Amino acid sequence: MLNTNILIQTVQDYINTNLNIDLHRLLLKKSPFSEVSMQEIVQQIKGKQVAQKKFPFLLQEGIIFPPQLNLEQSSSEKTAVYKSGLLKGKKFIDLTSGFGIDAYYLSQNFEEITLIEQNPDLIEIVEHNWGVLGKKATFINQKLEEFLDQNQEYYDVVYLDPARRDDQKNKVFLLEDLSPDILEIQEKLLSISKQVLIKLSPLIDLAYLVSILPGVFRIDIIALKNDVKEVVVFLSKEKAAEIICNGVNLESGENTFTFPFGAEENAHAEYSEPERFIYIPNNSILKAGVFNLIAERFDIKKFHPNTHFYTSNERKADFPGRILEMKVIDSKQIEKKGQFNIISKNYPLKPEEIKKKYQLKDGGNEYLIFTQSKKGKIILKSI
């Protein structure tokens, strides 16, 4: 049951003055309010802390935050905004609402919105918050499998962000290990909508996905500041002639590398020793495994079959990743006690070990790359 006493001004003032306090300590204290427990207060403080980074749009009066697990399971505002730009229609349904961050944004270009959530406390919080935000929807507290059994409606978009089933918080990446089990319900999902979007873990294997879900027509690998956050798979009833993949990085703007699924199989990379410019692909592209395709598309050469660094003499400004101007150096040329961003890939020593060996400090504007070309181990330094 929702305890709306946490919204009383004196309680909110207490929460706001304790936003940066040690929460373990606070939990040991007695709540100064008879109607609100210290646990409830700490839950709100945690919620506000997470919201500052993940969903700042909820930092306003009247919003109630759920327990930490529900906060962790939520999408970030930025990835949700990206997805919302891809969708439009009349009817939208989110079958796994959770804290409703995805649903809030993804439904922006829709007239009728339905949210399903099995957790009664959570959907109550979402309904309350959406009221505060002035956003209308139908909120249904039900297992989605039951809902699907009774449903007679047709939707333009069905969205799912399944929860991980294992309590151990082990990283699970098989569809059968998720709740709901997508394989069990996929046929039904495709019979009630034009388009089904499913958000999955970045650890999911793309070839596995395509092999197991016959309706896939698009896959987006979405990174936030080069950290891959989600893989979103788009399904429809009609079989697509080609599956489009997008490696997306949301940083100051949006950078997307688009390619057909399977294109890597026929792509070839040429190899070279480092030339003037060095290219480090965005992580969403590395996740997609299009190591040769990226070389072909940008007319750049690879260092080594297992080294995903690329090089050219001309600058390819559109490259989706970092572009550094560098030169090969001898280990003796490394300035002791110097400050560098250290990258080690396909090299026997880890960055920590390199730092120790050469007495280096982390950070600054200059880079040192330790890696291998076809000729052997090499070290590169920013010019």
Q: Which residues lie near ligand SAM (CB under 6 A)?
A: 73-75, 96, 98-102, 116-119, 122, 143-145, 161, 163, 179-180
CB of 75 to ligand SAM, least distance (A): 4
Tell me the closest approach of the beta carbon of residue 251 to ligand SAM, in angstroms.
21
Residue among 157, 153, 231 at smallest CA distance from 195: 157
Distance of closest approach, residue 314 Cβ to ligand SAM, in angstroms: 43
The nearer residue to ligand SAM, 49 or 119, going by C-beta atoms, is 119
Give residues with Cβ within 8 angstroms of 75, minimum separation 6: 101, 102, 161, 199, 229, 230
The minimum distance between CB 118 and ligand SAM, in angstroms, equals 4
144 or 334: CB nearest ligand SAM: 144
Q: How far is the CB of 223 from ligand SAM (least distance, A)?
A: 17
* Phi, psi dihedral angles at 350 (to 5 degrees): -80, 160
CA 12 → CA 57, 63, 64, distances in Å? 18, 10, 11
Q: With respect to ligand SAM, which residue has the nearer C-beta, 156 or 161? A: 161
Q: What share of the chain is helix, strand, coil (3-state, %, to 5)?
A: 35, 30, 35
Instruction: Tell me the C-alpha distance between 160 and 118, whole Å.
Output: 13
Q: DSSP 3-state assignment of 50?
A: helix
Of 98 and 320, which has the nearer Cβ to ligand SAM? Answer: 98
Considering the complex, state which of residue 145 and residue 366 has its C-beta at the smaller distance from ligand SAM. Answer: 145
Nearer to ligand SAM, 54 or 287 (CB): 54
- In this structure, how many other beta carbons lie within 10 angstroms of the beta carbon of residue 22? 9
CB atoms within 10 A of CB 148: 18
Shortest gap between Cβ of 224 and ligand SAM (angstroms)?
14
Closer residue to ligand SAM in complex, CB, 116/216: 116
> Are 149 and 116 spatial neighbours (Cβ–Cβ below 8 Å)?
no
Beta pairing, strands 138-141 & 112-117: parallel
Smallest distance from the beta carbon of 262 to ligand SAM, in angstroms?
29
Q: How does strand 112-117 pair with strand 91-94?
A: parallel
Q: Would you say 149 or 265 has its CB closer to ligand SAM? A: 149
DSSP 275: -
Which residue minimizes CB distance to ligand SAM? 98
Residue 214, preceding peptide bond in cis (omega within 30° of 0): no
Q: In whole angstroms, how close is the CB of 190 to ligand SAM at the nearest point? A: 18
DSSP labels, 214-255 = TTEEEEEEEEETTEEEEEEEEE-SSPPSS-EEEEEEESSSEE
Q: What is the distance between the alpha carbons of residues 352 and 369, in angstroms, rounded to a whole number?
A: 13
116 versus 204: smaller Cβ distance to ligand SAM:
116
CB of 72 to ligand SAM, least distance (A): 9
